[in-house]
Structure 1
């Protein structure tokens, strides 16, 4: 179990949907619109794979734009349970597995689309893990299939008080993230104050995220044989769409 998995199991999963701040249906609609904008409504739509599905926003979105089968893979059972509940009646199959093991976990199936969104890519331990995942995705895609990545570009260092980022707050919870920069990683310290009957309680956990320059990801994707169709910022994320 890497630090990211421990962090989600011990802290973040319990607050994930609250952090998003939107009802599930609205977030899934938002992600469906983004996937259409990124070209995933084009071409065959038999099977799709959602790597690091979280509570299922992208899995639901893939179904909404016409994919007939969606495998939703994550390392956090609590988030997979939320995916299962939110997508009940849809052709979504949740699988508990590490991203890096997806070929074996999916029975070496072939896909028309693979998505790895919401900053999941930076949860991997090293750039070598990312390159291996890109290679596995290339092998798993049908000809013409697309890989969609969104992740935070952490290559530029925040300094001083800019390292302290308010995530969300309401009458019951306050969440702040504090960043500590290392040469190849950023240590993410999540602090959640939760109101109880006896007062405020502090819940805290930390993990490392990769500092992953988008240009390096694009270069590796092209070296593997992908055609890069999109390479740009989308809201707070960087989006890359690569076609086999």
Structure 2
């Protein structure tokens, strides 16, 4: 998926992204509790300088800033980054945001104590070259002794089963219930898939159907681990949902 295609997808989805979650504010708090716990366990009590380099509308960045960290959120989608800034301000949280491609992070070396890339964002990088560029950039902006923290779908299992759809997710909001689900169309290589991202949103006449399309790379854990090691990270560790409490596998690694 090209950068422009991914940007267009998330620009379009930004206004509705909260509908992915049954209760977005509850998800902000729940995810922050796990991620903040990992950051403090690895780096000490802090507060720490964090970059969320795929911040979207702020799901992780807002919660981590609320936990006391000094957070910068960047995202390929300027529309999503703008919404993240507005949502954080509405909640009384300080969050600086920027529109930036994770493969070309516009921050100086040794700027951050930790870099977060969550919600399966890394899977939109469709080549080994793009994955390597993103991880090298994350390494560059981290100080020595810093922490990398990624979350991805459990693609080791997904690549075995190659599902055709995701379970529907019902969200409850001020305008009523909305429903989100995806149809997955696997490429012949068995590694990449196109998503049709359906959202049924209530309107005066019943339902409005909104469809967006994106492509993802079903990255197995070994591929991520090897790419992170090649980018200069050490101590790679996978934290699975049954032990971490996070809804996706979480990968952590350190800089020397």
TM norm structure 1: 0.86
Match of 1:75 in 2: 76
Residue 45 of structure 1 contacts residue 112 of structure 1 at CA under 8 Å; is this kept in 2? no
Do structure 1's residue 98 and structure 2's residue 115 form an aligned pair?
no
**Superposed displacement of residue 108, structure 1:** 4.6
Residue pairs, 1:78-227, within 5 angstroms: 78-88=79-89, 89-102=92-105, 105-108=106-109, 110-155=111-156, 156-159=159-162, 162-169=163-170, 172-182=177-187, 183=189, 184-227=191-234
Residue 49 of structure 1 contacts residue 71 of structure 1 at CA under 8 Å; is this kept in 2? yes
Match of 1:39 in 2: 39
**Superposed displacement of residue 229, structure 1:** 4.8
Q: Secondary structure at the match of 1:2?
A: helix
Residue 50 of structure 1 contacts residue 114 of structure 1 at CA under 8 Å; is this kept in 2? yes
**Superposed displacement of residue 221, structure 1:** 1.9
Match of 2:253 in 1: 242
Q: Secondary structure at the match of 1:14?
A: helix
Mapped to 1, the partners of 2:127 and 2:200 lie a distance apart of 31
1:39-73 CA-to-partner distances (Å, cap 9, x unmatched) read 34534544211011012122123223432x32100
Residue 188 of structure 1 contacts residue 207 of structure 1 at CA under 8 Å; is this kept in 2? yes
Q: Secondary structure at the match of 1:194?
A: strand
Mapped to 1, the partners of 2:96 and 2:115 lie a distance apart of 14
Name the Cα RMSD after superposition: 2.3
TM norm structure 2: 0.82
1:70-113 CA-to-partner distances (Å, cap 9, x unmatched) read 210012233223311232243421101211121xx224561101
1:5-33 CA-to-partner distances (Å, cap 9, x unmatched) read 222222x2232112112242x32321221
Gaps of 5+ in 2: none
Q: Secondary structure at the match of 2:103?
A: helix
Q: Secondary structure at the match of 2:57?
A: coil
Residue 218 of structure 1 contacts residue 228 of structure 1 at CA under 8 Å; is this kept in 2? no
Mapped to 2, the partners of 1:172 and 1:70 lie a distance apart of 32
User: What is the aligned length?
Assistant: 237
Match of 1:60 in 2: 62
C-alpha spacing 1:35/1:173, structure 2 compared with 1 (3 Å) = closer
Gaps of 5+ in 1: none
Structure 1 window deviating more from structure 2 (196-205 vs 70-79): it is 196-205
